[in-house]
Amino acid sequence: MFRYSWSQARFIGETLEASLERLGRLRYDGVELPQLSMQPSEVTARLKHHGLSCASINGRFIGADRDLLSSDQNLRSKAAAYVLSCMRVASSVGAPFVIVVPTHIGKLRPASSRAEDWDHAVASLREIGQFGQDLGVTAVVNV
């Protein structure tokens, strides 16, 4: 059986409640949520109220501190910590996946070399993958 979900990010400028109401009314099964500032228990209650599950959490990868490929170890650590926070939220709301963009949106070329970027990506994603495995959450890489 197919499960249908929709990304709440597509409803630009709409409240989460309005999006969930519409998706529930249209009998979607789930919703992809952006990393939200509200408590996971509140998200879970709203999803349950509308008969939805959380299909995935989609991080916001804007800015150098969200770049898993950065040549700066400090920035890579901040980016990994952000993804790990998304995974904690995903686990708390029952989402099996976190969408990960390895480099920040708008980055046009490697900061160092492609080979070094690749090595940084592998190391970052390995750490993220292990953490996710412990939580039962899978990182899905979107490039």
Q: What is the DSSP code string of 14-32?
A: --HHHHHHHHHHTT-SEEE
Report whether 86 contacts 61 (CB < 8 A). no
In the three-class reduction of DSSP (H, G, I as helix; E, B as strand; rest coil), residue 5 is classed as: strand
Give Cα 127 to chain centroid, integer Å.
16
Q: Which amino acid is at 44?
A: T
Per-residue pLDDT tens digits for 8-65: 777 778 888 999 999 999 999 999 998 877 899 999 999 999 999 999 999 888 888 9
What are 95-126's pLDDT values in tens digits? 999 999 888 777 777 777 888 988 998 999 99
**pTM for the predicted model, two decimal places:** 0.88
d(CA 121, CA 22) in angstroms, rounded, equals: 37
Domains of the chain: 5-141 (3.20.20.150)
CA proximity to 50, closest of 7, 76, 18 = 18
Helix (H) / strand (E) containing 54: strand 53-58
Cβ 116 vs Cβ 71: under 8 Å:
yes
- For residue 58, list its beta bridge partners: 34, 99
